[in-house]
Amino acid sequence: MAQKISNKGDHAGMPNGNPLNDITGPLARLDDRRITLEQLRTFVSVARNLDFQQASSELSRSQSAITQSLQKLEDILACRLIERRRGQVADLTVDGKRLLPLAEEILARLSAAVESFRQPALQGRIRLGVPDDFPIGNIVTAIRRCMETNPALRVEVTSALSSELGIRYQNRELDIIIHKRSAQTGTALISDAKAAQKHTTLLHRQPLLWVCAQSFALPITGDIPLITFPDGCAYRAAALQALEQQGLSHFNAYRSASYQNIRAAISTGLGIGILPLGAIADDHMALNDQGLLPALPDIELVMTFNRQNSLLNQFSHQLLHNTDFARARAA
């Protein structure tokens, strides 16, 4: 039987002087000191993989240890985190979905703190370019974490289309750029003769999709109403090339440099957009498998910087350590 939590003091209008005195049952057992990092890592691994066996392999622990650790965490929190079906993971519960981003943040902050003690603190100024037409929420979070663990570091972020980032990098106006390219051609935006001084790292790869609202009238008759980003966007370039090769005509039904505006225009049924898989909204419908439009290449997110610069090397390492590009999704 759980004991009531007692606390001396007089709170007017509250029974026994303290509202906590009436807390009994499972809530009385909540205590963050009982939750271990092992339990959080176990939960995050199971939640990401939705599979006990994969979590066991990822954490190098037995499946029974994984199950016991997860059950202990559920007992401490007095709630179910995982929906189980015949001993397998069916999905996260509402509480599990609520806990996942919090647990990921705790583990990421701890990892960043440990990493910061493995090398000297970074100091100086870094000019970072990020693409307009990509959900960059987790990139910004990673930058914040880097600056928190390196108080003397100054990161100046510029957001623009990938083509503009390439030009500004060429002109030495930016030190590091995160930009997009077509996986089909691997076309770089930067013609740097000193290739040895340039380092391009693949961060993320996703299928590129033709997308419309679920209420959009199909099949398409006449010119295709396109919803696109301005010239210089890798999505737009890939789509126009595919349409041209198939001899399909189009017109610009809506054009914007705003990521959220593009998604909203698609949702309202103004036309057909081009988005990566992770950006598809609940009211969107992908058309790639319907034979109505030509195939599109995958899209890649890459990072380019001068690898001979020690500050940029160390910063890029910390940035990648703090960012999970594989799970980047639109808000």
Fold designation for 119-204+300-327: D-Maltodextrin-Binding Protein; domain 2 (3.40.190)
pLDDT, position 311 = 93
What CATH code would you report for 208-297?
Answer: 3.40.190.10
Structure-block tokens of residue 7: 């606390």
Consecutive H or E run containing 143 = helix 137-149
CA 203 to chain centre: 11
Q: Which of 125, 107, 126, 110 is nearest to 303 (CA)?
A: 126
Specify the pLDDT at position 168: 93
- Kindly state the tokens that stand for 42: 């176990």
CA 310, 152, 142: angle at the middle one, nearest 5? 75
Rounded Cα distance between 289 and 43, Å, is 35
Q: What is the pLDDT of residues 178-190, one digit of tens each?
A: 988 888 755 455 5
CATH no., domain 31-114: 1.10.10.10
Q: With 0-12 CB in 10 A as exposed, 13-18 as middle and 19+ as buried, what is 81?
A: buried
Whether 31-114 and 208-297 share one fold: the answer is no
Separation CA 86–CA 63 (nearest Å)? 15
Please state, in angstroms and rounded to a whole number, the distance separating the CA atoms of residues 235 and 229: 8
Looking at residue 31, its pLDDT comes to 61
Cβ contact 142:125 at 8 Å? no
Q: Which residues of 162-192 are buried (b: 16+ CB within 10 A; e: fewer)?
A: bbbbbebbeeeebbbbbbbbbbbeeeebeee
Domain segments of the chain as ranges: 31-114, 119-204+300-327, 208-297
- pLDDT, residue 134, reads 64
Of 54, 95, 57, residue with least CA distance to 73: 95
How high is the pLDDT of residue 98? 92
DSSP states of 163-231 as a string? HHHHHHHHTTS-SEEEEEEETTT---S---S-GGG-EEEEEEEE-EEEEEETT--SS--SSEEEEEPPT
Residue 288: C-alpha distances to residues 212, 284, 291, 292, 297 (Å): 11, 13, 7, 8, 11
Mean pLDDT by 10 residues, the chain (331 residues): 41 40 48 82 91 89 90 91 85 92 86 70 92 71 84 92 89 93 64 54 88 87 90 89 92 90 93 89 87 88 89 88 57 31
Rounded CA-CA distance 286/209 in Å is 6
Query: What is the model's pLDDT at position 232?
Result: 82
